[in-house]
Structure 1
């Protein structure tokens, strides 16, 4: 439930509770993916349904860590050198811009210093793990299913609209 669950720039200020609370409402639809639940809420919005009464709830959340590959000294040092080079280049450019007549030397010095520090810090960090994490991965929260809830005053209308969407989708597939 990563970025997919953040508010968009168009949503405006949040009117939801400041503290974590259980969701309210009656189930009007259940979906296997977050994209399907979003599509359902979008359909409700397009049908002039009061979507401010709607909540998408991820049921049975789980943390999934997907392993991208093996981590080696070569990859660690190359990554450290690259990130250090970018930072050093940035610092060198800033120094060059704000020092009259400095020219190219601050950029080169910043780049070389960045590479050196990047190598040193990445090597120290990797050595500190002592081989306990020799892989690269990324994690995300997902749910087994996504329920769309609506406040009781509009639940029946929401179910009808989502049934229409399901029927139309079934005809297409």
Structure 2
């Protein structure tokens, strides 16, 4: 059964997509507000009024910051789409999550033998501290994991409400 057919997975991917849309939409709104503020300041100055203090700085901050946030949201939307396609063609595997370091995890597949088998070592992709801590709280828990590409994996657990992206960790 494809991983995307699982109702929990579908909900988690939809939540991920909704978050990406919020970032993208918020960035676009900030850019539009920056442009409108710039136009308002130009109109005020053309009509002989005093230039509002810090208006130029606010325009630049809104446009540049909004553009950056919109790019982050667009990247998240692309990633969510790529993950959705991958989950539609692969199945979840069951394993146990072990914390191997800051943002580094090991997944021990079902039936793992520490003397024979090699665990899957992954580096979390998230830069958000709260997401990293949420994964770290799953230490020792049964998780589901799926391969997106040879170097990228997705992790989730019952009740997590989201999927976590990870890349194959490089050996030291």
TM-score (norm 2): 0.26
Larger Rg, first or second structure (1 or 2): 1
TM-score (norm 1): 0.26
